[in-house]
């Protein structure tokens, strides 16, 4: 099974990905985690990505698509994978489609976690206080929400038109959200 977990920053994608990954035994691919690890390790990828991430901007599509091409070839992806934080732009969605076509594969489900903006801001500021992520300051948070609405949200229509989209309520109890997600996946 190949799943896209879709949602704004702060919608709980990461938390839910960890929970359903255990349930379904899928590889969890978080482009944000991969980039943060690269920044931490100071690799050329990390050096390139750092400035974009700290400003709350998107890392260029070409870089991200390259990461996904390579990561999805690894052995742990044979049983399926869960994409968390990718695709985030229309060109990324198109590049993903092209890659899957080339491999005669397809996405099975796109689950969108729907959370109101005010709640997203509250969660992101709370996380900033706990985790101290470099992009969880007020300016970067506003920019990330802005980028989500302008560049990422159009993907909801893209996947709806393809009959792949299920929207679920991303507010409330973490366990209830996981239950909604698993129901949407038919498990």
What residues act catalytically?
13, 88, 127, 133, 144
The residue (of 10 and 165) whose beta carbon lies closer to ligand AMP is: 10
Tell which one of 3, 20, 64, 181 touches ligand AMP (CB under 6 A).
64
Cis previous bond, 87, omega within 30: yes
145 neighbors 121 (Cβ within 8 angstroms)? yes
65 neighbors 95 (Cβ within 8 angstroms)? yes
| Nearest approach, Cβ of residue 145 and ligand AMP (Å) | 10
The residue (of 83 and 181) whose beta carbon lies closer to ligand AMP is: 83
Q: Residue 94 CA to chain centroid, in angstroms?
A: 16
Tell which one of 24, 52, 97, 99 touches ligand AMP (CB under 6 A).
52
Applying CB under 6 A, which part among 15-23, 54-62, 106-114, 159-167 lies near ligand AMP? 54-62
| Nearest approach, Cβ of residue 186 and ligand AMP (Å) | 26
Q: What is the DSSP letter of 89?
A: S
Give the contact letters, 119-138, x = binds to ligand AMP (CB under 6 A), - = no.
Answer: ----------------x---
Q: Per rule CB under 6 A, is residue 88 in the interface with ligand AMP? A: yes
132 neighbors 123 (Cβ within 8 angstroms)? no
Give the contacts of 68 (CB within 8 A, at least 6 positions apart).
Answer: 29, 31, 83, 86, 95, 96, 99
Interacting positions 1-20 with ligand AMP (CB under 6 A)? 9
In order of 28, 38, 62, 93, 174, the CA distances from 19 in angstroms are: 10, 24, 30, 24, 10
The residue (of 47 and 183) whose beta carbon lies closer to ligand AMP is: 47
DSSP string, 143-158: HHHHHIIIIITHHHHH
Q: Per rule CB under 6 A, is residue 58 in the interface with ligand AMP? A: yes
The residue (of 50 and 180) whose beta carbon lies closer to ligand AMP is: 50
Positions touching ligand AMP (CB under 6 A) are 9, 31-32, 35, 52-53, 56-59, 64, 85-86, 88, 92, 135, 144
């Amino acid at each position: 099974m190949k799943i896209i977990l879709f949602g704004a920053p702060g919608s709980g994608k990461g938390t839910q990905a960890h929970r359903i990954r255990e349930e379904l035994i899928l590889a969890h691919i978080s482009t944000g985690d991969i980039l943060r690890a690269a920044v931490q390790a100071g690799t050329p990828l990390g050096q390139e990505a750092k400035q974009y991430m700290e400003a709350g901007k998107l890392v260029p599509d070409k870089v991200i698509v390259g990461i996904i091409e390579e990561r999805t070839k690894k052995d742990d992806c044979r049983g399926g994978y869960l994409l968390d934080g990718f695709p985030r732009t229309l060109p990324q969605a198109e590049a993903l489609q092209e890659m899957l076509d080339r491999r005669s594969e397809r996405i099975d489900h796109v689950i969108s976690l729907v959370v109101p903006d005010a709640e997203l801001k509250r969660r992101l500021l709370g996380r900033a206080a706990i985790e101290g992520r470099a992009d969880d300051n007020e300016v970067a948070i506003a920019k990330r929400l802005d980028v989500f609405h302008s560049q990422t949200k159009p993907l909801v229509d893209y996947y709806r038109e393809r009959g792949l989209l299920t929207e679920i309520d991303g507010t409330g109890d973490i366990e209830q959200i996981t239950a909604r997600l698993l129901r949407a996946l038919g498990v």
